[in-house]
Amino acid sequence: QKEVEQNSGPLSVPEGAIASLNCTYSDRGSQSFFWYRQYSGKSPELIMFIYSNGDKEDGRFTAQLNKASQYVSLLIRDSQPSDSATYLCAVNQFYFGTGTSLTVIP
């Protein structure tokens, strides 16, 4: 399977801060990139996807893609305790990283 790497964390940020999640991938030909949120014992739910280099914003979330560096990130602004979860990066829909555990401290 294609390699998708994420820092497993845990990442802790205070409420209201910006959380930054990073992901690198090995297949230079990858075309689509997804960020999912997964609560413990639950299935993943899509946060957003990005196909083109640059930034894509959706509410408090911003995905950033740099294909030359084979790097995709997710920024969460004004982090809330309810954002505490594991965030999975996926490449080409099917290949997932191990996830980064995020804890937002009230």
Partner 1 sequence: GAVVSQHPSWVICKSGTSVKIECRSLDFQATTMFWYRQFPKQSLMLMATSNEGSKATYEQGVEKDKFLINHASLTLSTLTVTSAHPEDSSFYICSEIGGGGTEAFFGQGTRLTVV
Report in angstroms how near the CB of residue 36 gets to partner 1 at its nearest: 8
- What does the block give as tokens for 102? 């995020």
> Hunting for tokens 């999640």 — which residue is that?
21
Is residue 9 a contact partner of residue 102, using CB atoms and an 8 Å limit?
yes
Q: In the range 56-95, which residues lie near partner 1 by CB under 8 A?
A: 88, 90, 93-95
Nearer Cβ to partner 1 (54/106): 54
Contact status: 7 vs partner 1 (CB under 8 A): no
Is residue 25 a contact partner of residue 1, using CB atoms and an 8 Å limit?
no
SS3 62: strand
Report in angstroms how near the CB of residue 18 gets to partner 1 at its nearest: 25
Site string for partner 1, 20-59 (x = CB under 8 A): ------------x-x------xxxxxx--x----------
CA distance 68 to 102: 27
Report in angstroms how near the CB of residue 83 gets to partner 1 at its nearest: 19
What is the β-pairing status of strands 19-25 and 71-76? Answer: antiparallel
Q: How many residues bind partner 1 (CB under 8 A)?
A: 21
> Residue numbers of the site for partner 1 (CB under 8 A)?
1, 4, 8, 32, 34, 41-46, 49, 88, 90, 93-99
